[in-house]
Structure 1
């Protein structure tokens, strides 16, 4: 576990060449809601159906509570990505489904605001999150799944050293329908990113 009511570590913050990552906070609501709303059409094909109040302040507060509980129970770590230079919110990345015991694994998921996509920020974020997962959390394996037609995500994962392990049929309900996904994985000790 990452913490408890009696012993609580500081929430993690990571820094890359282009981005700064930290856990989401209440004061991020306006920037988050604006970025998600303006990127809705861009994100919709790759995400579960948004609820009717997806971008409401109340839904955001619930999301923050879920992030905090998952972190404190050792199940997930959620980050927002910010531009190091301007400080604006770019997107988010999460280590979820953290499994201990014999597995020592987690799943990586991410999203990026449309206007920031394709500029290297998510790759920079992965360069921060992967060592954090292996060195700090002491995980052995990271998994990521993406829809085969999401070529941006396929390129990102492969550039970050993830290897395609197979096709997961009808894996997740995305945009209202069950979608096949490629399964990618990266194991501790795999060739470092950028080599």
Structure 2
């Protein structure tokens, strides 16, 4: 647990996830800066102060407000070996009532890509979402040209459900997306 947020730390054999805190800024800014050209093509346009301490503080306040309102939950991914920040995963658009669902978004620093980091993070966080959060369904989307992301979602037990035209504004343009989902009753592989 952290003093800034009472959500749990999700622990796996090689990685752990926890809510971001203000003191993560320097490491977060470093990983994001060195991965900027790797990440920008898959993300919304970065604001001018994207990596600033002030911008990060605003981000943390938003994460905390959204968690208190049960609207979204953000986690950073850390290596157990050296506590290195490697990426993040967020459950947003939490919908309750008859739906019990959320949307998952994720990122990983360039130097940590294709090392099993995100598969392990998705696995840990999906178990939390279906357990502690009580969700029935988690959705995710990726650009049709982002083959590694589509393959990752399939590997983690997600099923491709459709194609959404001009679904999200990514890197300054409305872009089509492949839509995926996983249900609490679907088989889920475990990753370390």
Q: What's the TM-score once normalised by structure 1's chain length?
A: 0.94
Q: In the alignment, is the contact (CA less than 8 A) between 1:17 and 1:124 conserved in 2?
A: no
Match for residue 45 of structure 2? 49
Match for residue 117 of structure 2? 121
Q: Say whether 1:26 aligns with 2:40.
A: no
Where in structure 1 are there 5+ consecutive unaligned residues? Answer: 1-7
Q: Say whether 1:100 aligns with 2:96.
A: yes
Q: Distance in 2 between matches of 1:17 and 1:105?
A: 27
Match for residue 156 of structure 1? 152
Q: Say whether 1:87 aligns with 2:115.
A: no
Match for residue 38 of structure 1? 34
Q: CA-atom RMSD, angstroms?
A: 1.4
Q: Distance in 2 between matches of 1:167 and 1:17?
A: 35
Q: In the alignment, is the contact (CA less than 8 A) between 1:16 and 1:127 conserved in 2?
A: no
Q: In the alignment, is the contact (CA less than 8 A) between 1:164 and 1:182 conserved in 2?
A: yes
Return closer, same or farther for 1:9/1:84 CA change in 2, 3 Å cut-off: closer
Q: Secondary structure at the match of 1:136?
A: coil
Q: In the alignment, is the contact (CA less than 8 A) between 1:21 and 1:125 conserved in 2?
A: yes
Correspondence for 1:16 among 6, 12, 31: 12
Q: Secondary structure at the match of 2:10?
A: strand
Q: Distance in 2 between matches of 1:50 and 1:20?
A: 26
Where in structure 2 are there 5+ consecutive unaligned residues? Answer: none
Correspondence for 1:192 among 185, 188, 191: 188
State the number of aligned residues: 188
Q: Secondary structure at the match of 1:178?
A: strand
Q: Distance in 2 between matches of 1:9 and 1:123?
A: 25
Q: What's the TM-score once normalised by structure 2's chain length?
A: 0.95
Q: In the alignment, is the contact (CA less than 8 A) between 1:24 and 1:79 conserved in 2?
A: yes
Match for residue 3 of structure 1? none
Q: In the alignment, is the contact (CA less than 8 A) between 2:63 and 2:74 conserved in 1?
A: yes
